[in-house]
Structure 1
Amino acid sequence: MKRALLYMVLCLLTVCSCRPSAKHFSATVDVPVVPVLAFRPTNKIAQLDLVNHGAMPYTVKSMKVMLKGTHNLSDITKVSVYQNDRELGFVVPETGKNRHTVTVDLNLPVNTDSLSLDIHMTLKDTIDLSNRILLEKVIINTSEGTVTITPRSPAELRVGIALRQKMQDGVHTSRIPGLTTTTKGTLIALYDARWERERDLQGDIDICINRSTDGGKTWSPMQKVLDMGNWGSLPERYNGVSDGCILTDENTGHLYVTGLWMHGILDPENGKWVKNLNETSTEWNHQWRSFGSQPGYDVKQSSQFLIAKSEDDGLTWSDPVNITRQVKPESWWLMAPAPGHGITLEDGTLVFPAEGRTDTGLQISTIIYSKDGGTNWQPGNPAYTNTNECMAVQLSDGSVMLNMRERSNRGRLEGNGRAVAVTKNLGNTWSEHPTSRNALIEPACMASLHKHTYVNQNGDKQDLLFFFNPDSKTTRNNFTLKCSPNDGLTWPDALWTLIDQNNGNGYSCITSVDNDTIGVLYEGSGADLIFMTIEIEEIIKRL
């Protein structure tokens, strides 16, 4: 009898000490396609949803995050778990230990059947830009059992630099990116420094740059290039310069930055210059609105086209030169830089994309060009109407392609597509490209276009066109890099790369970092301006 009783007690103890079953849990982990950014205090990389169909309440003891497949684990300085934007726990991976698996202690009491937790990650400031973060699986240890979850859509998350963030350097918002690579290999990132608010001109806005001499890993402090200060005794909020574009002269190494300057404002009711503006004035108008810019050349009639030059790799810049009279027909309402970067043609001609309003106020896209090394500039004729922001590339036959934001695409689901035109005579005449209005969709937003000449290990050259924009007809999200191997005749789906699925302002610019790498600066979901790199081999191996 005693032996039987002892046997029953041992069996009961054995059952009670067994790991509880987790069959009554259901769980999912979603990994959004967004870059993980250096210089951000935290980046959300996944959302975990856990449903308990069993006993309540219970405790989430810990979360094990498995990062097998991540290229460079040493870039990660912290892994955290959040609930409703509140950090519940974190772990700092220890140097020299296996970083593929980290465990975050939580001891979180749960009184509801549904629980949503976010996994966050922090990177060190100087990172390997080719790194990829891969979340293999998550293991949740609870008082009711252990739950192992594999992401529903595994994704390699790219890393990048949060180059410009809200209120950085006292700047409210940084917008309108430009990007170029100098003949010395320096990267120069260009942008609007909007000091007081996010709004477009008119406002206290300067055009500024950051420089990188190591391929985008580190960047110099912000530097002003176009700043009109208190010109004409008006406050800076009535001397804004915006919509910059940057160009590298591939022959001389000189750099050029253009920008649009507004002095004061024109009355939106009648187009007359508003007098007696001061620091407390609230009047506002914009060059693309109503009577925001008018025929004529005077600063009190029309917005002004400025250009500055650097002869020392962007370290110092000249005072701005006003070229409005060179590039704007007097009867036109406006001629303005189109944001992004310009190009140097094979014969040395310098070309900037441009946008404007004709003598009837109609919006157009075109180019301006210089055949004497940037001393004198001339405008082309309109390439298309009801368009504005645009970018140019030189095709293999020597012609110039202009890819344009088509304003009627806003909200258009049928017939949505960017306008594309080609010129063989520097914009004197244009012909519509076969892909115009039918190949590259948009939500009516600026987009970037860039030609990269890739040389493989055998010394063979291949020209690739790269295009970046929000791949959506309605919303500025799903930021996607697309590649054309045939001068823009086709943009095969296989050569598309989703970079950032979430919302952002959407403007961008692309440059060739080196033979094997392109860089993208864009207005994304995680920062005002994000810089990241993409390896050419990653793209062409899909051909």
Structure 2
Amino acid sequence: MMKFRLTFLPLLLSVAHAAEVSTVQPVCPVLLGQETNPVLGFKVKVDEPAKLEGIEVSLTGTTRLQDVEQVRILRGKETPASATGAPVAELAPKAGAMNRTCDLALETGEHWFWVSVELKKNADIDGRVDVALGRLKVGGAVIQAPTPSPDGSQRIGVVVRKPGDDKSKAYRIPGLVRSKKGSLLAAYDIRYKHAGDLPADIDVGLSRSTDGGKTWEPMRVAIDMGNDPKFGFDGVGDPCIFSDDVTGRIWIAALWSHGKRAWHGSGPGLTPDETGQLVLSYSDDDGKTWSKGESITPQVKDPAWNLFFNGPGTGITMKDGTLAIPAQFRSADGKPHSTMLSSKDRGKTWTAGTGVRPNTTEAQLVELADGSIMINCRDDRGGSRTVAVSKDLGKTWEPHPTDRKGLREPVCMASLMRWQHPKYGDLLFFSNPDTTKGRQSMTIKLSSDQGMTWPDSAARLYDERPCFGYSCLAPADASHLGVLYEGSGALFYLRMPLNEWFK
């Protein structure tokens, strides 16, 4: 459920005629590259037909007025996504009150409106946007609107990919890594025909930023496994992007479905005609160009299993230089298991671990301070995450004290990241839809004790709208945490100052 800040102010318009005005301010980032960004909602309730004749708003609380291109008033319903259609009013941004007359008939009942902000192309993504509703003129009477909570300002983010970009219907499955050279590299599915999973016409895309995510270069296609005329496509997706912090090489692991060889349709065996393939591609020029995808399935898959491939998101370089990435398999009985892959020779050969437990799938890894691996898994039973620890690169697993109780989930991919920060200490960050039902309320949590506790006081809700729910974390720079996350077929990026957790 949306966590609105809600205030009411009933006012008399005349002796026989009354109105109520209320405001809501959900957590809903204002995004560069998106025209409609609902910042504040207000509801006008009239007990008989009247007219909305004037609106006054201000950008009080906005970091830089020069970041705002346009302010629009849109009709809608009680959720931000409902703000569509032609604007009721448009206002040029300025300091102080912005007024606009209108002539809108209101039937008896409730009427929802949203104040939407469009940003300029050079807006500062480290800033904030806020809107205050001033006065309304309804039925000839001037109404002073209620004042929202002062903490209602919205973050500024970036639309990295949206439906229609490069003629693709949708973009999904974010992976994010910071390279040894300091670039941010975002990998994802280019879902050309629709937003659905493999098997489909899908390639792995790559977006690159050299300024901490403020701007992004044009998309590159990192992995394209061809187009077999027998099938019409050779889809490849669910990328896991990771950095070899020893050499600087960037890797992407992904699932190649030669025909119908994805989650459903893949079977026993090792060849592309029998089973889905785990392919690896690499870049030695900081993500600018990529090698052809090569399958490592014969190295790592038990031929009796139905499928073996990576977990989406990101992987790690361990303290001793070992490369480690999350993985998953469907055993001969069809049940899924989270596991991991590791390489001690810079990615030439790989070794698979054992399954954590049945009914676990997409996972993420961190190396803890004692050198053990923590795996944090999507659990198909729902409600909470499976968390386990291994001291032997996944040969054996032990449940962590927070297993199935420390972190809520609605059955969804999540992100886990360790950051050994020179100023703030040894930190774990976790991002997912912080619910047990439905994918919404995207939240980042912080643990300062190696994942033993995740205090509510250190949780940061960053987008509460319903969405597809996948996300991936990476350091944006020395003082900001970056998150790449899904909207509904789009990919959004935010960066958050670390001092927000350590004021």
Q: TM-score, normalised by structure 2?
A: 0.92
What's the counterpart of residue 492 of structure 2? Answer: 530
Equivalents in 1 of 2:61, 2:455: separation in Å?
28
Deviations 1:124-146 (A, max 9, x none): 22321221122333321345222
Task: Determine whether 1:354 maps to 2:308.
Answer: no
Greater fraction of residues in strand: 2
Q: CA deviation at 1:474?
A: 1.1
Per the alignment, do residues 363 and 47 of structure 1 end up closer, same or farther by CA in structure 2, a change over 3 Å counting?
Answer: same
Contact 2:388 2:399 in 1 (8 A): yes
Deviations 1:170-206 (A, max 9, x none): 1111000000111111111110001111111111000
Gaps spanning 5+ residues in structure 1: where?
A: 1-19, 267-286, 410-415
Q: CA deviation at 1:101?
A: 3.2
Count of residues in Structure 1 that have an aligned counterpart in Structure 2: 482
1:60-75 matches, within 5 Å, as: 60-75=52-67
What's the counterpart of residue 107 of structure 1? Answer: 103
What's the counterpart of residue 217 of structure 2? Answer: 220
1:269-308 matches, within 5 Å, as: 287-289=262-264, 292-308=265-281
Q: Which of 25, 30, 35 is residue 29 of structure 2 equivalent to?
A: 35
Q: CA deviation at 1:536?
A: 0.8
Gaps spanning 5+ residues in structure 2: where?
A: 1-12, 77-83
Q: CA deviation at 1:165?
A: 1.1
Equivalents in 2 of 1:365, 1:60: separation in Å?
57
What's the counterpart of residue 8 of structure 2? Answer: none
What's the counterpart of residue 463 of structure 2? Answer: 500
1:252-267 matches, within 5 Å, as: 252-265=247-260
Task: Determine whether 1:395 maps to 2:368.
Answer: yes
- AA aligned to 1:92 is A
Equivalents in 1 of 2:455, 2:106: separation in Å?
49
Q: CA deviation at 1:153?
A: 4.7
Contact 2:46 2:107 in 1 (8 A): no
Match of 1:384, SS? coil
What's the counterpart of residue 188 of structure 2? Answer: 191
Task: Determine whether 1:118 maps to 2:110.
Answer: no
What's the counterpart of residue 170 of structure 1? Answer: 167
Q: Which of 455, 479, 504 is residue 422 of structure 2 equivalent to?
A: 455
What's the counterpart of residue 481 of structure 1? Answer: 444
What's the counterpart of residue 133 of structure 1? Answer: 129
- AA aligned to 1:522 is Y
Per the alignment, do residues 144 and 422 of structure 1 end up closer, same or farther by CA in structure 2, a change over 3 Å counting?
Answer: same
Match of 1:244, SS? strand
Equivalents in 2 of 1:474, 1:326: separation in Å?
38
Per the alignment, do residues 114 and 198 of structure 1 end up closer, same or farther by CA in structure 2, a change over 3 Å counting?
Answer: closer
Contact 1:44 1:119 in 2 (8 A): yes
Equivalents in 2 of 1:201, 1:516: separation in Å?
37
What's the counterpart of residue 310 of structure 1? Answer: 283
Task: Determine whether 1:26 maps to 2:20.
Answer: yes
- AA aligned to 1:248 is S
Contact 1:454 1:516 in 2 (8 A): no
Q: Which of 270, 286, 299 is residue 326 of structure 1 equivalent to?
A: 299
Q: CA deviation at 1:322?
A: 1.1
Q: CA deviation at 1:234?
A: 3.2
Equivalents in 1 of 2:163, 2:286: separation in Å?
28
What's the counterpart of residue 42 of structure 2? Answer: 48
Task: Determine whether 1:434 maps to 2:407.
Answer: no
What's the counterpart of residue 83 of structure 1? Answer: 75
What's the counterpart of residue 6 of structure 1? Answer: none
What's the counterpart of residue 386 of structure 2? Answer: 419
Match of 2:328, SS? strand
- AA aligned to 1:470 is P
Deviations 1:428-479 (A, max 9, x none): 11111000000111111111111122222xxxx5011111111111100111
Equivalents in 1 of 2:106, 2:268: separation in Å?
67
Equivalents in 2 of 1:234, 1:263: separation in Å?
10
Q: CA deviation at 1:109?
A: 3.9
What's the counterpart of residue 386 of structure 1? Answer: 359
Structure possessing the higher radius of gyration over alpha carbons: 1
Q: Percent identity?
A: 37
Contact 1:212 1:220 in 2 (8 A): yes
Per the alignment, do residues 327 and 222 of structure 1 end up closer, same or farther by CA in structure 2, a change over 3 Å counting?
Answer: same
Q: CA deviation at 1:344?
A: 0.5
Contact 1:180 1:341 in 2 (8 A): yes
Match of 1:74, SS? helix
Match of 1:540, SS? coil
Deviations 1:284-316 (A, max 9, x none): xxx333xx2111111111100100010000001
Per the alignment, do residues 518 and 100 of structure 1 end up closer, same or farther by CA in structure 2, a change over 3 Å counting?
Answer: farther
Equivalents in 1 of 2:260, 2:487: separation in Å?
31
Equivalents in 1 of 2:70, 2:444: separation in Å?
29
